[in-house]
Amino acid sequence: MSINRPAATALAAALCLLTAACGDSSDSDTASGTTTEVAVSKTGYPVTLKNCGQAEIFKQAPSRVVVMNGASVAEVSTLLALGLQDKIVANQQTYGMSEVAGRAAAIKALPTGNVKLNDAYDIPREAMLGLRPDLVLSTTSYGFDEKNGFATRDQLKAVGANSYVSPQGCDQDTAKMTIADSYTLLRDMGKVFNVTDKAEKLIAASEKNIAAVS
């Protein structure tokens, strides 16, 4: 599996700093150019994100989210930080421990969809489609690679599901992930779920705490 686990862990650690900073509480492109807001109406929808060369259009907030493993915890932690745990129907990411009080237990309590993982330790195509997702999150594009037995982004789109690859994950090399990427992930999910204000508050608090430590 082509994933740099230390780098993925580093992004998760950055996100831990971000969420710990807050307790329970028109953008430029990222450096990688992988995720860009294209359009948002005054009501919040539709939201269009350009992600790894694909346009993902969200007509409403997703309600059946699947989080793939990908040797990461950044994606599921982002959703929990934004208070979106009730939108998750299957999560394969896990923490052993977390700097955020209660975070590891909260992740453990999330539904898994009772999925039997494939040889790549993730959700195979048939099981994925059976979950009837409307949004699938993957750490890298590996999670949508057909040759590894996963549902492709086109196959998901055909059944009405959007897909999203985290920043720096388009080419399956997570070695360049930074805390700025965790902010991009938060902002993108804030737009997708119409909780932008909450995402910006989390980011502002994190930046303030990091500046104080520096």
pLDDT in tens, 134-191: 999 999 999 999 999 999 999 999 999 999 999 999 987 778 889 999 999 999 999 9
| Cβ–Cβ < 8 Å for 62, 56 | no
Q: Is the pLDDT of residue 6 over 60?
A: no
The predicted pLDDT at position 97 comes to 81
Q: Is the pLDDT of residue 42 over 70?
A: no
Mean pLDDT, to the nearest integer, of 83-107?
A: 92
* Helix 74-81 and helix 5-20, axial crossing angle in degrees, nearest 10: 10
Reported as half-sphere exposure (CB side, CA atoms, 13 A), residue 182 has a value of 29
Instruction: Report the DSSP pairing between strands 162-165 and 135-138.
Output: parallel
Exposure class string for 175-194: b at 16+ Cβ within 10 A, else e: eebbbebbbbbbbbbbbbbb
Domains of the chain: 5-213 (3.40.50.1980)
Q: What's the chain's average pLDDT?
A: 84
Q: Is the pLDDT of residue 17 over 60?
A: no
| Cβ–Cβ < 8 Å for 201, 21 | no
The predicted pLDDT at position 82 comes to 98
Model pTM? 0.82
